[in-house]
Structure 1
Amino acid sequence: MGRVYATPEQLTTWTGQPPPAEAGRLLARASEDVDSALLTAVYETDDEGLPTDPVVVQALADAVCALIEYRSETGDSGTGARDRWDSVSLGPASMSGRRAAVNQPGGVDLGDRAERALRRAGLLPGVIW
């Protein structure tokens, strides 16, 4: 498993709700997506690749929790399947119109609150000089 930037307790604090049974999986998936959005961001890390600056640590935790909250509100599982087609029928099977890729950092739809948390910490847009 990769780096995970938030805990079930932080998710509870963020949402005001008890963490879902699959909180560990959701936190890991959202952390991977935040990593994808930050491929060009520059910040100090320890030997395990975790941020060391408390502002960055908090921003990543906030972004992960906000992304989980956003996906919960929109019914998105985070697999990317939700936005693949603009029309789907089940019988007899019919699909039409692939939707365009998400125009977000790293191709990940972070949702507004997660993106703002990363921008406030100076992590987006990530630019390598």
Structure 2
Amino acid sequence: MARVYATAAQYEDYTGVTPAPVDIETRLRRASAFLDAQVLRLCAYAVDDGGLPSDPVVAQAFTDAVCAQAEWGVDVGDVTGAAAVGWGDVEIGSVRLRRSVTATSGDQSPGRQIAPAVWDALRSPDLTPDLFVLGAVAT
């Protein structure tokens, strides 16, 4: 089962936006899965039986990181990467944009980028090396 590191109430506290978007539970689930795949699987931290961080400081950092990623998705309007796929030429007035459709994947879209505030949460000075190591890879 997928781990979800934040709730709608925590999102509202983090962003100050009340009410949260109607699809916030889906966005938080997707943001949690995205950060698990892109960042958290490469880190070292203690977990409970459910795979969630067992230390409250680490758990709060994960909550903040997921809320930041979900907020980023709300701000850019694309969490799947689909908005960055499929256009070759676009003209708006005198502005013309061109790119190869075959060389484009959704991975380059803003919605598939790690939000800058995620790094702020995961580089907090409260996350001492005995609690959390960012980018640790072990065999």
Q: Structure 1 residue aligned with 2:103, among 94, 98, 101? A: 98
Q: Provide the identity percentage.
A: 38
Distance 1:60 1:4 in 2: 10
Give unmatched runs, 5+ long, in structure 2: 91-99
| 1:86 and 1:97 in contact (8 A); partners too | no
- Which structure has the larger Rg? 2
Other-structure match for 2:74: 72
Q: For 2:120 and 2:136, how far apart are their aligned partners in 1? A: 13
Distance 1:96 1:23 in 2: 31
What does residue range 23-102 of structure 1 map to in structure 2 within 5 Å? 23-37=24-38, 38-76=40-78, 78-85=79-86, 87=88, 96=101, 98-99=103-104, 101=107
In the superposition, the TM-score normalised over structure 1's length comes to 0.77
Aligned residues: 119
Aligned partner of 2:95 in structure 1 is none
RMSD: 2.5
Instruction: Give TM-score, length-normalised by structure 2.
Output: 0.72
